[in-house]
């Protein structure tokens, strides 16, 4: 299990760089560690900068699958947005309402290094948008309203 960095750690505020080689030894090891950390912490998603790696890699739980997403780009998004409650492993015990696109389509590299497209809506779309924000140094508390601390 990896240590999850918490706000205001400066690593969380850096823009992460693209991954050129999804097969590099470091990344091969990082993926299962990130998945384990996400699951053990009851997170719906985790971005590499949260565990101290400023690279564009996110993992997300979706139904019984775990998505491994490199270099995600939102190539289509709905005009329709919706508010929903979010929290973050890097901002413990804090929740707030964030407005996100209801549907998105992303293009990314999968763990085999192949280009893939994914349409997401509802919770998965929210999680992916939240995690992509992490890759750009943005935390949900930057956008949230009605922030509450437990
Ligand atoms: Co987060």
- C-alpha 61 – ligand 1 centre gap (Å): 13
| Surrounding residues of ion ligand 1, Cβ less than 5 A | 88
Q: From CA 19, how far away is CA 125, in angstroms rounded?
A: 22
For 83, phi and psi rounded to 5 degrees?
A: -85, 145
Percentage with pLDDT > 70 across the chain: 100
- C-alpha 115 – ligand 1 centre gap (Å): 24
Q: 118-143: per-residue pLDDT in tens?
A: 999 999 999 999 999 999 999 999 99
- C-alpha 129 – ligand 1 centre gap (Å): 10
Domains and CATH numbers, the chain: 10-149 (3.90.45.10)
Q: Is 131 a catalytic residue?
A: yes
- C-alpha 24 – ligand 1 centre gap (Å): 25
**CA distances from residue 21 to 6, 18, 71, 104, 109 in whole angstroms, order as listed:** 27, 9, 11, 25, 10
């Amino acid at each position: 299990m990896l240590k999850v960095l918490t706000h205001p750690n400066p690593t969380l505020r850096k823009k992460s760089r693209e991954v050129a080689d999804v097969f590099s030894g470091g990344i091969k090891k990082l993926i299962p560690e990130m998945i384990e950390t996400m699951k053990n912490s009851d997170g719906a998603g985790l971005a590499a900068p949260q565990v101290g790696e400023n690279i564009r890699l996110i993992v997300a739980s979706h139904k019984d699958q775990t998505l491994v997403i490199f270099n995600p780009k939102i190539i289509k998004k709905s005009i329709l947005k919706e508010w929903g409650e979010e929290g973050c492993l890097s901002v413990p015990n804090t929740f707030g309402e964030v407005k996100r696109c209801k549907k998105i389509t992303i293009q990314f590299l999968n763990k085999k290094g192949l280009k893939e497209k994914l349409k997401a809506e509802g919770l998965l779309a929210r999680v992916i948008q939240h995690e992509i924000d992490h890759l750009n140094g943005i935390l949900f508390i930057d956008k949230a309203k009605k922030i509450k601390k437990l």
